[in-house]
Amino acid sequence: MTLRQFARGLTGALVVPWFIYFALHLYVEYRNQAPDDFAYHDSYFLALNVGWIGYFTLVVVLLAVYSIAVASFNWIGKRRKPGRR
């Protein structure tokens, strides 16, 4: 894996969890809106609390998946014979 591929993978692994947490935050905010009629108010409350450990774990998993994909594509590319598609 080249340094450029590693940098792209690391950037993607750091950005993707942020988008996932942002989407989950929007979902939580949508679900926690109080209704206009309090008589029909449900006691359902949704909370999202994923700390730095969850974020770090997701970054490591995404970087590992990206590394495996790059390594497999490079391995497949080396196995192909020149001039063959």
How many structural domains compose the chain? 1
Q: What is the pLDDT of residue 53?
A: 81
Q: What is the pLDDT of residue 7?
A: 85
**pTM value?**
0.56
Please state, as a whole number, how many other Cβ atoms lie within 10 Å of the Cβ of residue 13.
19
Query: Do 48 and 3 contact (CB within 8 A), yes or no?
Result: no
pLDDT, tens digit, for every residue of 26-75?
A: 887 787 776 665 555 555 555 666 677 878 888 888 888 888 988 888 88
User: Binning pLDDT at 50, 70 and 90, where does residue 79 land?
Assistant: confident
Residues 6 or more apart whose CB falls under 8 angstroms from that of 39 comprise none
Residue 56 belongs to a domain = yes
* Range(s) of the domain holding residue 60: 3-79
Q: What is the pLDDT of residue 44?
A: 57
Residue 84 belongs to a domain = no
Residues 6 or more apart whose CB falls under 8 angstroms from that of 12 comprise 62, 66
Residue 85 belongs to a domain = no
Q: What is the pLDDT of residue 30?
A: 80
Residues 6 or more apart whose CB falls under 8 angstroms from that of 28 comprise 46, 47, 48
Residue 11 belongs to a domain = yes
Higher pLDDT, 78 or 84: 78
